């Protein structure tokens, strides 16, 4: 269902009325398209603290944006990257303010502010306090910056010019390249107020950054419609051979999606005890990307929830993910360098009335990711991450009562609902072959929802 309020406030009368009444004024977001694949304007590279992250300038040069290093050089930057990896004292935090204070109002609509920090050091409480302060700063700036602009914090494992920590020769800036390319592009339009931890890993750049999944096989569950179809389409755009999985009852829609993408349709109930074995048989060459997207809702308050409503949601949304993941890893059906991306939800992070079953299942996905990620990487060379969508415009949310739907749309920093492609683009970044240093992350795709952290 179209967001008529967003359209109305995009007109002159709508803007006037919204200002007079103090109503939200969401801005139309710049999402990726072949016609507008990059942000509109230059990138401003600033530094707070010393030293800065070595190699960062070269990485930023690969974003497709013209990189400037002086605030006076760009009256309307499309993006600002503030390297605060060298900020280790409370006094140095003043440099964060000094760097962004003069430029934050000038960032173009649908622009980006990315702050680079380092992991808080458990053995240095002063450094930990200062670097943690950056998280509060970023989350707050995201809530006030407006005009479709987003703010994110990327924590790297590196230090700086005094000695970059490396893993197999890969500098921290290089390990973060796929993340920075994503965040500094229209692909991240609905990701804001997030903290992304980029670890240490040997990272090899793809031959073609526009088709990074060429030659790779991806399986997407729940692919017949909605978010799953958008994920399959986006992975295919990036070069993957896509296997689209959904229940037999959705076989017609599933075949249509797979046919449009030159992919393969696999009609299968993911809750079947032998689902893992059947997937292994369907992909004899193994999988490079596994996207757990299939999910259902059966909403009721707990006092009114029958046992079958509880068990069906937990079985589809969580138990089937555990079973199939374990089966595929045990069968070595996920190739080294593979990616597992599961779909959580902000309901699993913040809770939601009438969704104790759904929230439990999605919180379970968060637990799965945090526990499995280090072991899967160490034992199988596979990363495990999750996306956590907020209010996404789908047929399901279109059926939500009007006032609840409007509240879901407006209760985030961007003042609007997301689109299935927003979840898909985030999934594609986590599935990227150069995203090997991103592991164990749960990234909210929610426009910085005002619910939860």
Q: How far apart are CA 359 and CA 300, in angstroms?
A: 12
Task: Say if residue 168 is in the same domain as residue 226.
Answer: no
Task: Say if residue 109 is in the same domain as residue 238.
Answer: no
Give the mean pLDDT per block of 10 residues along the chain (453 residues): 82 85 88 97 95 91 92 82 96 97 96 97 96 98 97 83 36 91 98 96 91 98 97 98 98 98 98 96 97 96 97 98 98 97 96 95 98 97 98 81 80 95 98 97 96 64
Task: Say if residue 145 is in the same domain as residue 280.
Answer: no
Task: Say if residue 227 is in the same domain as residue 189.
Answer: no
Residue 5 among the catalytic residues: no
In a domain, 10, yes or no: no
Sequence-separated (6 or more) residues with CB below 8 Å from residue 75: 106
In a domain, 431, yes or no: yes
Q: How far is CA 341 from the centre of its chain?
A: 10
- HSE (side-chain half, CA atoms, 13 Å) at 296: 17
Could you say which of 137, 310, 358, 391 is catalytic?
Answer: 358
Predicted local distance difference test score (pLDDT) of residue 45: 96
Of 151, 45, 144, 135, the residue nearest 93 (C-alpha): 135
One-letter-per-residue 3-state SS of 190-256 = CCCCEEEECCCCCCCCCCCCCCCCCCCEEEEECCCCHHHHHHHHHHHHCCCEEEEEECHHHHHHHHH
Task: Say if residue 136 is in the same domain as residue 278.
Answer: no
Predicted local distance difference test score (pLDDT) of residue 1: 67
In a domain, 4, yes or no: no
Of 193, 176, 199, 146, the residue nearest 29 (C-alpha): 146
Q: Per 3-state DSSP, what percentage of the chain is helix, strand, and coil (rounded to 5)?
A: 40, 20, 40
Task: Say if residue 123 is in the same domain as residue 236.
Answer: no
Task: Say if residue 244 is in the same domain as residue 100.
Answer: no
In a domain, 333, yes or no: yes
**What CATH number does the domain containing 237 carry?**
3.40.50.720
Task: Say if residue 163 is in the same domain as residue 95.
Answer: yes
Helix, strand, or coil (residue 315):
helix
Q: How far apart are CA 254 and CA 251, in angstroms?
A: 5
In a domain, 26, yes or no: no
CA distances from 442 to 9, 140, 348 (A): 32, 20, 11
Q: What are phi and psi of 74, to 5 degrees?
A: -135, 115
Q: How far is CA 23 from the centre of its chain?
A: 28
Predicted local distance difference test score (pLDDT) of residue 73: 64
Strand partners, 382: none
In a domain, 211, yes or no: no
- Cα Rg of the chain (Å, integer): 22
In a domain, 451, yes or no: no
Q: In total, how many domains does the chain have?
A: 2
pTM tops 0.85, yes or no = yes
Task: Say if residue 119 is in the same domain as residue 241.
Answer: no
Q: Which domain holds residue 300?
A: 217-445
- With 0-12 / 13-18 / 19 or more C-beta atoms within 10 angstroms meaning exposed / middle / buried, residue 169 is exposed
In a domain, 21, yes or no: no
Q: How far apart are CA 342 and CA 321, in angstroms?
A: 8
Task: Say if residue 151 is in the same domain as residue 97.
Answer: yes
Predicted local distance difference test score (pLDDT) of residue 6: 86
| Helix intervals (H) in 69-225 | 93-100, 125-144, 172-175, 177-183
Task: Say if residue 268 is in the same domain as residue 153.
Answer: no
Sequence-separated (6 or more) residues with CB below 8 Å from residue 70: none
Q: Vertex 136, ends 135 and 141: CA angle to 5°? A: 100
Of 200, 154, 166, 161, the residue nearest 54 (C-alpha): 161
Task: Say if residue 44 is in the same domain as residue 141.
Answer: yes
| Helix intervals (H) in 261-398 | 275-282, 307-314, 320-330, 346-350, 356-380, 395-398
């Amino acid at each position: 269902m179209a967001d008529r309020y967003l359209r109305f406030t995009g007109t002159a009368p709508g803007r006037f009325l919204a200002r007079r009444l103090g109503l939200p004024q969401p801005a139309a977001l710049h999402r990726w398209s072949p016609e507008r694949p990059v942000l509109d304007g230059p990138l401003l590279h600033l530094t707070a603290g010393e030293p800065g992250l070595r190699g960062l300038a070269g990485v930023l040069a690969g974003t497709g944006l013209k990189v400037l290093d002086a605030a006076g050089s760009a009256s309307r930057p499309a993006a600002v990257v503030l390297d605060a990896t060298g900020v280790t004292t409370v006094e140095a935090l003043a440099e964060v303010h000094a760097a962004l204070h003069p430029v934050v109002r000038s960032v173009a609509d649908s622009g980006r502010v990315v702050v680079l920090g380092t992991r808080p050091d458990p053995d240095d409480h002063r450094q930990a306090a200062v670097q943690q302060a950056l998280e509060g700063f970023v989350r707050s700036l995201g809530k006030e910056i407006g005009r479709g602009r987003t703010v994110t914090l990327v924590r790297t494992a590196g230090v700086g010019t005094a000695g970059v920590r490396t893993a197999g020769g890969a500098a921290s800036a290089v390990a973060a390249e796929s993340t920075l390319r994503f965040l500094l592009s229209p692909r991240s339009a609905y990701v804001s107020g997030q903290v992304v931890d980029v670890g240490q890993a040997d990272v090899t750049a793809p031959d073609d950054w526009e088709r990074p999944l060429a030659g790779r096989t991806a399986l997407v569950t729940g692919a017949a419609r909605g978010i799953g179809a958008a994920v399959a389409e986006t992975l295919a755009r990036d070069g993957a051979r896509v296997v689209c999985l959904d229940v037999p009852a959705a076989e017609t829609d599933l075949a249509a999606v797979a046919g449009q993408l030159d992919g393969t349709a696999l009609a299968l109930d993911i809750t079947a005890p032998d689902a893992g074995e059947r997937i292994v048989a369907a992909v004899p060459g193994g999988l490079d990307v596994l996207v757990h997207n299939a999910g259902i809702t059966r909403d009721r308050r707990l006092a009114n929830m029958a046992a079958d409503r509880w068990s069906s949601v937990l079985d589809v949304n969580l138990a089937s993910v555990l079973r199939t993941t374990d089966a595929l890893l045990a069968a070595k059906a996920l190739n080294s360098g593979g990616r597992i991306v599961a779909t959580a939800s902000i309901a699993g992070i913040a809770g939601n009335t009438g969704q104790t079953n759904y929230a439990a299942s999605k919180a379970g996905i968060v637990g799965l990711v945090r526990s499995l990620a280090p072991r899967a990487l160490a034992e199988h060379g596979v990363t495990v991450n999750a996306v956590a969508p907020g209010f996404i415009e789908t047929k399901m949310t279109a059926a939500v009562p009007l006032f609840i739907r409007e509240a879901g749309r407006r209760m985030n920093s961007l003042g609007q609902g997301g689109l299935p492609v927003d979840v898909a683009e985030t999934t594609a970044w986590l599935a990227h072959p150069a995203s090997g240093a991103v592991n164990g992350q749960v990234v909210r795709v929610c426009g910085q929802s005002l619910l939860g952290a």
